[in-house]
Amino acid sequence: MKPAAILNALGLVLVALGLIMLTPISVALLAREYASIVPFVTACAVSMALGLLFQWRGGFCRDFDNLKRAEGMLIVSLAWVVTGGIGAIPYLFFDLGPIDAYFESISGFTTTGATILKDFALYSKTFFFWRSLSQWLGGMGIIVLFVAILPQFAVAGRQMFFAEAPGPTEEKVTPRITHTAKALWMIYMLLTALEIGLLYLAGMPLFDAVCNSFSTMAAGGFSPHPQSIMGYQSSVITWIVTLFMFLAGGNFALQYRVFVQGKVRDLANNEEFRFYVAIVVLMSLFLCVALVRSGPVSLNDGLRDGFFQIASIITTTGFASVDFALWAVSAQTLLFTVMLIGGCAGSAGGGVKVVRVLFGVKYLKREIAQVVHPKAVLPIKMDRVTVPDDIQRQILGFLMFYLALMTLSALAVSMIESNAAIGIVGTAATIGNIGPGYGAIGPMGSFGDLSDLTKIIFIVDMVVGRLELIPFLAMLHPDFWVFKR
Q: 302-338: per-residue pLDDT in tens? A: 999 999 999 999 999 989 998 888 888 899 999 999 9
Structure confidence at residue 155 (pLDDT): 47
Is residue 471 situated within a structural domain?
Answer: no
Is residue 22 situated within a structural domain?
Answer: yes
Average pLDDT over residues 29-49: 95
Helix axes 177-201, 125-140, angle to 10 degrees: 140
Cα end-to-end span (Å), the chain:
8
Whether the per-residue pLDDT at 411 is higher than 70: the answer is yes
Phi first, then psi, for residue 320 (nearest 5°) are -135, 130
Structure confidence at residue 62 (pLDDT): 63
Are 163 and 69 in contact, with CB atoms under 8 Å apart? Answer: yes
CB count in 10 Å sphere of residue 263:
13
Structure confidence at residue 47 (pLDDT): 95
Is residue 329 situated within a structural domain?
Answer: no
Is residue 40 situated within a structural domain?
Answer: yes
Of 261, 419, 243, nearest to 315 (Cα)?
Answer: 243
Residue 418 makes CB contacts below 8 A (sequence gap 6+) with: none
Is residue 287 situated within a structural domain?
Answer: no
Quote the mean pLDDT of the chain. 87
Structure confidence at residue 63 (pLDDT): 61
Is residue 89 situated within a structural domain?
Answer: yes
pLDDT-derived band of residue 149, with 50, 70 and 90 as boundaries? low
Count of the separate structural domains present in the chain: 1
Q: Could you tell me the pTM of the whole model?
A: 0.90
Strand segments (E) across 48-164: none
Whether the per-residue pLDDT at 425 is higher than 70: the answer is yes
Is residue 263 situated within a structural domain?
Answer: no
Structure confidence at residue 175 (pLDDT): 45
Helix axes 271-294, 354-372, angle to 10 degrees: 100
Whether the per-residue pLDDT at 171 is higher than 60: the answer is no
Is residue 44 situated within a structural domain?
Answer: yes
Q: Which domain holds residue 115?
A: 1-166
Whether the per-residue pLDDT at 351 is higher than 70: the answer is yes
Whether the per-residue pLDDT at 146 is higher than 70: the answer is no
